[in-house]
Structure 1
Amino acid sequence: MLTPARWLLAALAAVALAGCDTTALKVAEDLKTYDVPATVTTVELTGGSGSVEVAAVDGPHRVRERHVYADLPPLTSHRVEGGTLFLVDQGCGKAADADGRCSTHYRIEVPRTLAVTVKVRTAPVTVTGMTGALDITTDVGAIRGTGLAGKTKATTSVGAVELRYAAAPPAVDVTNDVGATQVFLPAQGEYRIDAKTAAGPAVNLPSLPKAKSAITLRSSTGAITVAPA
């Protein structure tokens, strides 16, 4: 997580990179695709800049990396240890990473029950159809999920968070320094909701003190909304 003094600098940097005219750069692009072994039960990704998509599919199960760079390609790796698929993006080097000339865009297609951990610096993260546990962290980048059902932890310094659940999750824990947070839960579920933000939360579902499903939402600057899915 960024400190409160640094989130504004990060946000301005992200805006500046998004607005850069890359047509003057000699940009290269390449693709890498590999299968996810059937023995994998957990995916852990550590990355820098780009984007991350995680999608539940019946098969085939695979990872696609799209690298965009101006000089040397990003240094990425993947390995399986003890049922966990580790994905690592080390970037292209300090100079290329700093001026936005390096990004890795992941598309991860896996069984819906897998647990997924993602930690990235500047990248939006999208998760679709996963019912396993999620732990998503971005310094700068939106976090969006649809068709979810598992325990979820989402943390961002700058970026919107939008989570939509197809089934009542055991727990949801969101920390968002700057950005709106929206959580949509099945109306038939029972929840213990604790939402706090300077802007004032809008909670449109009953909060039951003895409910097993704990929904904890925190934001320093940004609206919080809890509503039926």
Structure 2
Amino acid sequence: MKRMAPAALTVGVGMLLTACGLDMDLGSRHEDVKTYEIADALTELQVNIGAGDVIVNESDRSGVKVTETLQWRSSKPETERSVEGKALVLRYMCGKGPLSHCNVNYKVEIPKGLRVKIDGGAGVITLRQLSGELEVATGAGDIRTVGLAVKRLKADTGAGTVELAFVAPPDSVEATTGAGEVEVKVPGGPYDVEAGAGVGDVTVKVDKDPSSPRKIKVSSGVGDVKVLKS
């Protein structure tokens, strides 16, 4: 993922959101909500989108429930879902033309233990009570989590806050942001911690041991970095 220089991040984020149609006044805004369920036996969820918020939470259901909120001005986006191997893949496309600006917000309920991979251009990503492996990236937007029991997690945003809250000790955590605060809360310990900030304060308040098999690596280009006990 291409990173913007810190001095250009504020302008760059605004341009990105405008280009995605989130701030432009191009006439009446339209919205449509669609909900569906996938009963296939799955091991992974993939969400690949340009602009939009994503919420993923675990539940006791055996299948996957997806709610899509489509928003557009001139051309309705086309959403696509497919099962590729054991992975459910969600994506969408805006119409062609200079005024075909759109975005889609996703709310996804998944069974316990599914691996989750999200790649977004702009938007807030919220993850709740997940236990499967996580890999999350967004060009501009916050990454927020609650009640994580995952063993391995990678989170990256070009501009935004990263908040990771664990209820079980993870084996590996990697979190980075170009501009914004990174906060990781973990139980137990000790951990092998590597934390740094180009411009900002670094606070580590967990038991540290460089020989620990549990690794935490966090950084921010511009912003505070915190590794705390939960």
TM-score of the pair, normalised by structure 2: 0.90
Matched, 1:106 2:106: yes
Q: Which amino acid aligns with 1:41?
A: T
Aligned 1:77-156 pairs, distance under 5 A: 77-93=80-96, 95-96=98-99, 101-150=101-150, 151-156=152-157
**Partner of 1:62 in structure 2?**
65
Task: Give unpaired runs (5+ residues) of structure 2.
Answer: none
| Residues 92 and 179 (structure 1), Cα distance of their counterparts in 2 relative to 1, 3 Å cut | farther
| Residues 126 and 225 (structure 1), Cα distance of their counterparts in 2 relative to 1, 3 Å cut | same
Q: Tell me how far apart the structure 2 counterparts of residues 57 and 201 of structure 1 sit (CA, whole Å).
A: 35
| Residues 64 and 96 (structure 1), Cα distance of their counterparts in 2 relative to 1, 3 Å cut | farther
Report if aligned partners of 1:96, 1:102 keep a CA contact under 8 Å in 2.
Answer: no
Report if aligned partners of 1:48, 1:91 keep a CA contact under 8 Å in 2.
Answer: no
How large is the Cα RMSD of the aligned pairs?
A: 2.1
Q: Tell me how far apart the structure 2 counterparts of residues 112 and 26 of structure 1 sit (CA, whole Å).
A: 40
TM-score of the pair, normalised by structure 1: 0.90
| Residues 93 and 147 (structure 1), Cα distance of their counterparts in 2 relative to 1, 3 Å cut | farther
Q: Tell me how far apart the structure 1 counterparts of residues 129 and 10 of structure 2 sit (CA, whole Å).
A: 32
Report how far residue 190 of structure 1 moved.
2.3
Q: Which amino acid aligns with 2:189?
A: G
Report how far residue 12 of structure 1 moved.
2.8
Q: Which amino acid aligns with 1:139?
A: G
Q: Tell me how far apart the structure 2 counterparts of residues 12 and 67 of structure 1 sit (CA, whole Å).
A: 21
Q: Tell me how far apart the structure 1 counterparts of residues 56 and 114 of structure 2 sit (CA, whole Å).
A: 11
Q: Which amino acid aligns with 2:138?
A: T
**Partner of 1:50 in structure 2?**
52
Secondary structure of 1:10's partner?
A: helix
| Deviation digits for residues 79-117 of structure 1 (CA, Å, limit 9, x no counterpart) | 1021100111223346346xxx41100001001310000
**Partner of 1:192 in structure 2?**
192
Report how far residue 58 of structure 1 moved.
1.1
Report if aligned partners of 2:45, 2:114 keep a CA contact under 8 Å in 1.
Answer: yes
Matched, 1:36 2:27: no
| Residues 146 and 96 (structure 1), Cα distance of their counterparts in 2 relative to 1, 3 Å cut | farther
**Partner of 1:207 in structure 2?**
208
Report how far residue 191 of structure 1 moved.
1.1
Report if aligned partners of 2:17, 2:122 keep a CA contact under 8 Å in 1.
Answer: no
Q: Which amino acid aligns with 2:213?
A: K
Deviates more, 1:81-90 or 1:5-14: 5-14
Q: Tell me how far apart the structure 1 counterparts of residues 103 and 2 of structure 2 sit (CA, whole Å).
A: 20
Q: Which amino acid aligns with 2:37?
A: D
Secondary structure of 1:35's partner?
A: strand
Report how far residue 15 of structure 1 moved.
7.0
